[in-house]
């Protein structure tokens, strides 16, 4: 008996030695060829957990092996808006609320979409709001105020970095105050194909825009599976790009529903976003070379899940504000480089992690990080605790 045990141990040791010898060469860490960056507007943990409870379904959020926490404060406010939040997620820079793609001194910043396009990757954006709305705009436009929709539309039309953009908000292109028909200009002079529906897109076309409504897309309950379908369409277009691709996808209307304190709408939107995440995650699992990062720009509504009778049984959604909160949000990651997205991080840290995952140096744009609110807090702390003489 003893001898058998000993030979078993010897066999095991031999097995280990052989395995070690075979793996002697340290393997290069896998690099991400493609990146799918997904932002749930206004979506922190309460929105995701409320959707789990309301639907009783296992969500795609539960399949991510790496999860971290993202501090969302902006350079001007502890509570960020989508413009400053999006700018920080897209670039290395926290900025002032309402600013799009600029640092607090109104100097344009380089976004992860632009940096990866310069490295030869194809690029795309998919949303369910105006394509000129704050979150998508932060990836390609540079304006001091997010409400400058018609200027953002011109910057989108003239953008050299974008291969495809899918969303809504056609009126900022063809019903403009300056009466310019930007759709005509895009098609005749700027190399775009412009569609008003997902149905008849030629996915072999290398530069197209879809604006499937004049305003924002209707609510999830009305627009159906537009977002997951749009992600599929974008992936069909970008798949096989010689140097890979970068795709940003936004679950745009979770924020709208939480501003309105409409829990049924919020659950529909979060579930719709989860289905879009499933399309991305299934693609990444099949390909093996695609990083998927899911996060949010901020929390909206101050949502908590409570039993108003204090009995711990009848859980309902309770909102504490009609606006945003400073609650940190989650980040979920899968694929090459995903292990970087754990622990506590700033929203302005994500671009560098994505560049690292692609095996690329985050050269940056040479602009200093200006974080006024925290610089002020540190100064006040120092002033109240003078160093001993």
List interacting residues with Zn ion (CB under 5 A). Answer: 255, 300
Which are the contacts of 102, defined by CB distance < 8 A and separation ≥ 6? Answer: 87, 95, 108, 109, 142, 143, 144
**Neighbouring C-beta atoms of residue 171, cutoff 10 Å:** 17
Dihedral sign for Cα atoms in the order 325, 326, 327, 332: positive
For Zn ion, give the closer residue by CB, 250 or 255: 255
Identify whether the C-beta of residue 365 lies closer than 8 Å to the C-beta of residue 142.
no
For Zn ion, give the closer residue by CB, 255 or 274: 255
Angle made by CA atoms 323, 257, 142, in degrees to the nearest 5: 65
40 burial via Cβ count (<10 Å: 0-12, 13-18, 19+): buried
For Zn ion, give the closer residue by CB, 68 or 301: 301
Through-space distance between the first and last CA atoms of the chain, rounded to whole angstroms = 75
Min dist. Cβ of residue 300 to Zn ion (A): 5
Instruction: Classify 378 as helix, strand or coil.
Output: helix
Min dist. Cβ of residue 256 to Zn ion (A): 7
Task: Find the largest Cα–Cα distance for the chain.
Answer: 92
HSE (CB half, 13 Å, CA atoms) of 87? 32
Give the tokens for residue 79: 């509570």
For Zn ion, give the closer residue by CB, 169 or 244: 169
Min dist. Cβ of residue 100 to Zn ion (A): 14
For Zn ion, give the closer residue by CB, 124 or 167: 167
For Zn ion, give the closer residue by CB, 79 or 277: 79
Element spanning 10, H or E: helix 2-22
For Zn ion, give the closer residue by CB, 135 or 233: 135
For Zn ion, give the closer residue by CB, 78 or 158: 78
Q: Which of 113, 227, 111, 225 is nearest to 168 (CA)?
A: 227
Which residue is at the shortest CB distance from Zn ion? Answer: 255
Min dist. Cβ of residue 173 to Zn ion (A): 23
Gap between the Cα atoms of 189 and 191, Å rounded: 6
For Zn ion, give the closer residue by CB, 301 or 335: 301
**Neighbouring C-beta atoms of residue 34, cutoff 10 Å:** 27
Min dist. Cβ of residue 142 to Zn ion (A): 21
Min dist. Cβ of residue 82 to Zn ion (A): 6
Min dist. Cβ of residue 56 to Zn ion (A): 28
Min dist. Cβ of residue 87 to Zn ion (A): 15
Element spanning 36, H or E: strand 34-40
Min dist. Cβ of residue 170 to Zn ion (A): 22
DSSP code at position 208: E
What is the side-by-side order of every strand in the sheet holding 329-334?
Answer: 193-195, 208-211, 164-168, 122-130, 245-251, 34-40, 290-296, 329-334, 66-71, 343-346
HSE (CB half, 13 Å, CA atoms) of 221? 8
DSSP code at position 301: S
């Amino acid at each position: 008996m003893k001898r058998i045990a000993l030979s078993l141990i010897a066999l095991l040791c031999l097995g280990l030695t052989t395995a070690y010898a075979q793996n002697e060469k340290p393997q290069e860490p896998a690099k991400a060829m493609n990146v799918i960056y997904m932002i749930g507007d206004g979506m922190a943990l309460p929105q995701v957990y409320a959707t789990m409870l309301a639907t009783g379904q296992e969500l795609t959020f539960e399949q991510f092996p790496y999860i971290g926490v993202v501090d969302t404060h902006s350079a001007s406010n502890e509570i960020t808006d989508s413009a400053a939040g999006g700018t920080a997620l897209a670039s290395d820079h926290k900025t002032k609320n309402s600013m799009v793609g600029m640092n607090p001194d109104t100097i344009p910043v380089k976004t992860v979409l632009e940096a990866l396009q310069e490295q030869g990757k194809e690029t795309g954006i998919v949303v369910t709001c105006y394509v000129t709305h704050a979150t998508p705009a932060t990836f390609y436009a540079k304006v001091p105020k997010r409400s400058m929709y018609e200027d953002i539309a011109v910057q989108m039309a003239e953008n050299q970095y974008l291969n495809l953009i899918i969303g809504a908000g056609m009126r900022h292109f063809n019903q403009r105050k300056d009466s310019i028909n930007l759709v005509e200009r895009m098609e005749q002079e700027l190399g775009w194909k412009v569609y008003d529906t997902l149905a008849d897109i030629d996915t072999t076309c290398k530069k197209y825009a879809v604006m499937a409504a004049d305003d924002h897309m209707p609510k999830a309950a009305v627009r159906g599976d537009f977002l997951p379908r749009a992600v599929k369409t974008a992936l069909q277009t970008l798949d096989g790009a010689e140097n890979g691709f970068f795709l940003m996808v936004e679950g745009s209307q979770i924020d709208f529903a939480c501003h309105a304190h409409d829990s049924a709408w919020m659950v529909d939107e979060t579930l719709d976003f989860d289905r879009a995440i499933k399309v991305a995650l299934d693609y990444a699992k099949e390909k093996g070379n695609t990083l998927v990062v899911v996060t949010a720009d901020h929390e909206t509504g101050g949502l908590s899940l409570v039993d108003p009778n204090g009995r711990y049984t009848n859980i309902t959604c309770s909102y504490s504000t009609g606006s945003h909160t400073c609650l940190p949000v989650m980040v979920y990651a899968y694929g090459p480089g995903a292990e970087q997205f754990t622990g506590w991080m700033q929203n302005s840290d994500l671009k560098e992690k994505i560049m690292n995952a692609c095996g690329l140096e985050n050269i940056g744009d040479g602009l200093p990080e200006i974080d006024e609110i925290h610089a002020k807090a540190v100064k006040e702390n120092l002033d109240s605790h003078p160093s001993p003489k």
